[in-house]
Amino acid sequence: MTAPYDVAVIGAGVMGCSTALHLARAGMKVVLLDRGEICREASGVNAGTLTMQMTRAALIPYALRAHAMWMRMGEWCDGGHVQAVDCPGLSVAFTEHEVAMLEERAHFRRQAGAPIEIVSTARAREIEPGLSDKALLAGHCPIDGFTSAYLTGRAFRPALLNAGVDLRERCAVRGVQPGFSIDTEEGEIRATRLVLAGGVWLQDMAAWLGITLPIKVLINQLVVTERLPPVMRTVLGVASGLLSLKQYANGTVLIGGGWQGIGDRQRGGLAVKPDSFLGNVRLAAHTIPALRDARVVRSWLGLEAETADALPAIGPIPGVADAWIIGSVHSGYTSGPYMGKLLAQAICGQAPELPLFPIDRLLAKDQAA
Binding site for other proteins (CB under 8 A): 37-38, 40, 44, 54, 56-57, 94-95, 101, 104-105, 108-109, 134, 150-151, 153-154, 157-158, 169-170, 225-227, 238-242, 250-251, 258-260, 262, 264, 266-267, 270-272, 274-275, 277-279, 281-283, 285-286, 291-300, 310, 330
**Crossing angle, helix 14-25 and helix 332-347, to 10 degrees?**
30
Beta carbon nearer to other proteins, 291 or 356: 291
At its nearest, how many Å lie between other proteins and the CB of residue 4? 26
Q: Is 125 helix (H, G, I), strand (E, B) or coil?
A: helix
Q: Which lies closer to other proteins via its Cβ, residue 12 or residue 347? A: 12
Residue 225 or 345: the one with the smaller Cβ distance to other proteins is 225
Between 80 and 340, CB nearer to other proteins: 80
Beta carbon nearer to other proteins, 26 or 296: 296
| Cis status, amide bond into 108, omega within 30 of 0 | no
Tell me which amino acid residue 348 is. Answer: C
Return the number of the residue (19 or 307) whose C-beta is nearest other proteins. Answer: 307
If you write DSSP's letter for every residue of 9-41 in order, what string do you get? Answer: EE--SHHHHHHHHHHHHTT--EEEE-SS-TT-S
Pick between residue 53 and residue 234 the one whose CB is nearest to other proteins.
53
Q: Say how far apart CA 183 and CA 189 lie, in whole Å.
A: 7
Question: Which residues does residue 31 pair with via DSSP β-bridges, in sequence order?
Answer: 8, 166
Taking the complex as a whole, how short is the minimal distance between the CB of residue 258 and other proteins, in angstroms? 7
Min dist. Cβ of residue 60 to other proteins (A): 11
Task: Give the DSSP H/E element, type plus range, for residue 287.
Answer: helix 274-287
In the complex, what is the shortest distance from the CB of residue 235 to other proteins, in angstroms, rounded to a whole number? 17
Burial (Cβ within 10 Å: 0-12, 13-18, ≥19) of residue 285: middle
Angle CA 139–63–97, to nearest 5: 30
Q: Quote the least distance from Cβ 275 to other proteins, whole Å.
A: 6
CB of 299 to other proteins, least distance (A): 5
Minimum distance, C-beta of residue 44 to other proteins, in the bound complex (Å): 6
Q: Is 87 in contact with 235 (CB distance < 8 Å)? A: yes
37, 171, 176, 220, 262 from 270: Cα distances, Å: 19, 23, 29, 11, 6
